[in-house]
Amino acid sequence: MNYLNLIRYKNLFIIAFTQIVIKFVLFPTFDIFTTLNTIQFTCLVIATLCIAAGGYVINDINDVIADGINKPNKLIVTKKISLNTANNLYMALTIIGVCFGLYVSNSIDKNAFLAVFILVAGLLYSYATNLKNIPILGNIIISLLVGLSILIVGVFDLTPAITLENKDFQKQMMSLLLDYAIFAFFINLIRELVKDCEDIDGDYKQGVNTLPIAFGIKRTALVSFGLVVITIMSVIYYNYIYFYKYTYVLAYFVFLVIAPLLYCAIQLISAKHKKEFSRISLVLKITLFTGVCSMFLFKYILENA
């Protein structure tokens, strides 16, 4: 269980679930042209999960001091798993991820796509060792990578299948994936800032210069509040433009996406303590999951169009 917690198995589940829903629910709903067979897609998921898991491990390796203060009861590296073992695990996961990425890229005759996995692995390492010390930049990079975990399915499964006849439809599907990636980006960016507020004591002791340390918890909470408001307005606008005819779809977004975000916005106005930020972070994670699950609604939308 220590190893599962170290690689953040719950977060990995959400990544895998999202990619599986895109491949086996969203794409078939629109009868879209795809490239990857089941084996190739499985390798793509494994590559994504391994590199992401490696990112979590290297982050924990570099956060030993901060985690010892912020969550001493949940400290894994050095307390339950040795530093040497954690480093070996990081190397193994990253190498396995890149190898699976190489296989998928080669199997669809797109060897250049391997650069995606190498770039992501490099950014995760840079984040853990350097970039997290730059206020907001590290948060943005991690959030971009979360969005990329959605887009990568389209890059590998849709773009190689583009022809002159289907290019408009394929591009529309990539545009839909981009919408979900942007949603994931904003939700994760807000959550990263909230987590920085939650972990400010340990980060300060370790010398990590996060936004709450540089500008204060209250100002960071206000920035997070602003981002939540932008996200809420974007979701409302998106529903008004595309889903205004579908009552059940609107109800889904109101109760399972907008309402939780409104709760977070209200809480952020007065949040000061670790438990408050921890609760907001959990709600944001759940909202990201419910947002992804909205992909199941497109079958209903097409049937009632």
* pLDDT 10s digits, 78-132: 777 888 888 899 999 999 999 999 999 999 999 999 999 999 999 999 988 888 8
Q: CA geometry: angle at 152 spanning 151 and 157, to 5°?
A: 105
Contact criterion met (CB below 8 Å) for 215 and 267: no
Instruction: Say how far apart CA 219 and CA 102 lie, in whole Å.
Output: 44
DSSP helix/strand/coil, 162: coil
Structural tokens at position 133: 């010390």
pLDDT of residue 257: 97
Q: What is the pLDDT of residues 235-285, one digit of tens each?
A: 999 999 998 889 999 999 999 999 999 999 999 998 888 899 999 999 999
Structural domain harbouring 294: 2-303
Kindly give, in sequence order, each residue whose CB lies less than 8 Å from that of residue 60, ignoring residues fewer than 6 positions away: 6, 67, 76, 77, 86
Q: How many domains does the chain have?
A: 1
Average pLDDT of the residues in 49-67 = 85
Instruction: Say how far apart CA 8 and CA 14 lie, in whole Å.
Output: 10
Q: Output the average pLDDT for the chain.
A: 91
pLDDT of residue 263: 97
> In terms of Cα–Cα distance, which of 198, 262, 191, 254 is closest to 223?
191
User: Which helix (H) or strand (E) covers residue 6, if one does?
Assistant: helix 2-6
Q: Where do we find the tokens 């490696």?
A: 54
Q: What is the pLDDT of residues 192-216, one digit of tens each?
A: 999 989 888 777 777 778 888 888 8
81-277-126-71 Cα dihedral, nearest 10 degrees: -20
Q: Is the pLDDT of residue 71 over 80?
A: no
Q: What is the value of pTM for the model shown?
A: 0.93
The 8-class DSSP code of residue 76 comes to -
Question: Where is pLDDT greater, at 203 or 154?
Answer: 154
Instruction: Say how far apart CA 37 and CA 25 lie, in whole Å.
Output: 15
Instruction: Say how far apart CA 257 and CA 158 lie, in whole Å.
Output: 28
pLDDT of residue 67: 67
Please give the C-alpha separations between residue 273 and each of 113, 200, 268, in angstroms, as whole numbers: 44, 10, 11
> In terms of Cα–Cα distance, which of 114, 151, 147 is closest to 26?
151
Structural tokens at position 239: 């529903």
